[in-house]
Each structure stands twice: as C-alpha cells, then as structure tokens.
Amino acid sequence: MGGFKKGLQNLGRAMLLPVAALPLAGLILRLAAPDMLNVPILMAAGNAVFGNLDILFAIGVAIGFAKAKDKGIPAMTGFLAIITLKQGLLIIDKTIDMGIFGGIISGLIAAWTYNRFKNQKLPMVFSYFGGEKFPLTMVLVFQTIAAFIFGYIWPVIQAGIDQFAKLLMGMGAIGVGIFMFLNRLLIPFGLHHVMNTYVYYDMGKYTAPNGQVFHGEITRFINGDPKAGLFLSGFFVIMMFGVPAICLAIYNAAYKDRKDEVKGIMGSGATTSFVAGITEPVEFTFMFISPMLYVIHAIYAGLAGFICALFNIKIGFTFGSSIIDYLINFKIATNPILILPIGVAFFALYYFTFYYLIKWKSIPTMGREEVQDYGEEATADEENLSMGSKNYEYTAKKMLQAFGGKENIEEAYSCNTRLRVEVKDPSIVDEQKIKQMGVSGIIKPTENNFQVVVGLEVTYVMAEFGKLLDSE
C-alpha cells in the first residue's frame, strides 16, 4: 500500500510539470481571441500547447519518474515514446484517441525503460548506443508493442471512459458537486491532481469550426465550447469567497494578543486565494488540526459546485479560478454574474460556520494554539523565524539539519506550495524543528515521505535546499 501511495504521489507530482505550461498558454489564447485582441499568431501559440497535451504529459511523466539528475535524455525518451505510440495507433485505427492517457502511459513506459536500461553495456562496435542512449532505442521497441496492444484493447477502454464521462456529466449538478467534493477531499493526500487531470484536460469532446478537436473542460471552454465550464464554475466561489472567509474567521477567532500575527498570515492567504486561486497555504493551517472543519470545507465546495450547476453557470480558468480568470473569461462565460451573489452567500456561510465552530469547539486554529515550547537547543533566530523573514538560505539549512542531513535524503522536490522529501531513515527526522521554521504543516503520506507545507515561497526554499544537497 505504501508503494502504491508513493506511486500516486509521484504521478501527481509529474503532472504538475506539464500543467505549469498551461496557464500562460491559456491566457494568451484567451487574449488573442477574435472578440478581444484578435491576434491569430498568438492563438496559434496557445493552441500549440493545448493541441499537444499528450506529448507534454508524456515528457512530464517521464521526467517525474526517471531516476536521474540530468533529465534531458528521459525527456527525449518520453517524446519518442508518445510519437511512436501515436503513429502506431494511426495505422491500426485512425479513430482511436487516447488523449492524455496515451501521454501518461507513454511517460511511464519511457521512465521504466530509462531506469532499466540507462546503464546497459553493448559490444564495442555498438558502444555509442549504449549507456544512457540505449533507452532511446528500447523505447521504440516497447512502444511499437504498446501501439499494437492498445490498438485493439483501447476501443473498449475508450468506450468505458466515454460512459464514465457521460455518467458524470449526465448527473448534472449532482455530478459537479461530487467532483468538487472529491477535489477538496483529496488535497491532503496530494492526489487531487490525478482526478483533476481527467476532468480538466480529457473529459468531453468538442470540434472547433476549424475542425480541430479538443478534450477537457478547460481546453474546450477556452476554445469556445458552449457546453464546457460547468465543472469549473464552483471553484470561483471557493477561491474568491470561501477561502477568504475562512481566513477572516480564523483571524477573528484568534486571541486578542495574537491577532496581529494572524492578520498578516491570513491576509496573505486570502489574497493568494483571491488573486492566484491557490488555497493550500490556508487549508493546511487547519485540515489536520480539525479534520471536521476540513470535511465541512469539502462539503461546502461540493455544494458550491452543485448550486453553480443548478444556475447553469459556465466559466473556465487557466490561471486558477481567481479574479484574474473571472474578469478575462467573463465575456465568453454563461451567467458569470451569478457567481457574485452566490459567492457572497458562501462567504457568509463559510465565515459563520468556521467562526462559531472554532469558538464553540475551542479548535486551536492559528492564533488559538498553545504557546510552542521550542526546547533548550532552539536559538532565538529559530524561535522568531518565519517565511516572512525571506531568509530562505537559513531556512533550508536548518530544515536539512532537521531531516537528518543530506545523507538521509533520498529525494527532494517541490510542487505549488509543498516541499516534498523522501528520507532513508524517518526516525532521525526532527519534525518539531521543521515546524519551527514557520511552515503551515507537515504531512506524512508514507513512513519515509514528508510533505512540508511552506506556501508560495517553496520555490525559493527548494532552490536553497537543492544547493545544499548538491554541495560537496
């Protein structure tokens, strides 16, 4: 089970790489549309990304699973894997469309091929093709076989996926509510990306006037599908109204002498959610302190999706269901103005629910927790340190020490808001010292895997963390 969970975690992480290319491409595509700036060459640039999602995901997954510091050859292996599969399927059956699943499968095969054959030795006359280059040859063989297999079994699988999509979409508002509920509920495990990927980039089908075919709620909405956006509209309610309301509730529920401290953190969290559509810095401040509050949050998210669907609100996003996407996509959306009154209602619902439950149940949310005992070994700098200090080099150094030094690090990387570290010996990890760094929380999906919730500054912390790992 631990290996399975780790594999899903790695898959979610690998998907973040190609997804990182989508926000700007989506914004370009929207701004260049005929009803806005009307710049065809910019639209072509945006479509170059959204029209090749399977290739992006193949490369991203190959990079994510390949065991190598230099990811160049794994990326090339992923690219060769997907184009070999696509060409093989065209010969067998031109109607087969594996979408991003083809990319994910190709990426997984490419990563396995690279890890298995990267040290392969060949006779001297063929030595140039050995070592790290050998996977480039072997992946062509494996993907030719894969094309033959999927050419005959995928039509059945494709029919099953289509039925699932139709079931989910056919459930109307209930289907939307279920999706949004699960979306929030899976965040603590980092598995929401797996489910999101299908809904966002593969569910449904739309043929544009120029004959190009697009899949997924996000992609179809951006390209003018009038049926797309139903599964996305509820997120605007949560990001623009729900999470800021949680921040206000936590701030007002904080003890009087702690309000100034909480104000900065919660104010930043609310702004990040409203402007960037990123909610984890806020959610991780209470999800493990009070699972009850987090389940309520997930239920309210599902309810928001359900209500938005009932009112036939269809609006998409590329940046993160924030005010930016709301304003940019307002013109091509269906009933987007209704998000505002619904959002105000959910702001009140979230605020009063969280505020009164925190007070009634004496939940130790930020500003209400007991004063931490940092121990005799903690320095004054450690006790006062927070992400607001911007001292990322110092933070990374102390965090690495708390993880047991670089000798204890098996792997380290970051996602949107988390520093994810796999250690060799979890017994020597000092979680208390990590918490002293001013992080929002620590998650352990498996015994050897730690996820430190840093926030948006995780990129800078990881940069310094990586330097320390690479140092002699």
The catalytic residue positions are 415
CA distance 331 to 36: 9
CA distance 359 to 340: 28
- For 281, the token pair is 């810095």
Determine the Cα angle at 18 with ends 197 and 457, to 5°. 100
- Give the total residue count for the chain: 472
CA distance 71 to 74: 5
214 contacts 203 by C-beta, under 8 angstroms: no
CA distance 34 to 9: 40
Place of tokens 């979680």: 431
What is the longest distance spanned by two Cα atoms in the chain? 77
415 contacts 454 by C-beta, under 8 angstroms: no
Helix (H, G, I), strand (E, B) or coil at 403: coil
Neighbouring C-beta atoms of residue 6, cutoff 10 Å: 15
What are the residues facing 206 on neighbouring strands? 214
What count of Cα atoms within 13 Å lies in the side-chain half-sphere of residue 395?
25
Which residues contact residue 114 at a Cβ distance below 8 angstroms, ignoring those fewer than 6 apart? 62, 66, 67, 68, 73, 74, 77, 132, 135, 139
Q: 12's torsion region: left (phi>0), alpha (psi -120 to 50) or beta? A: alpha
For residue 93, the one-letter residue type is D
- For 200, the token pair is 């966002």
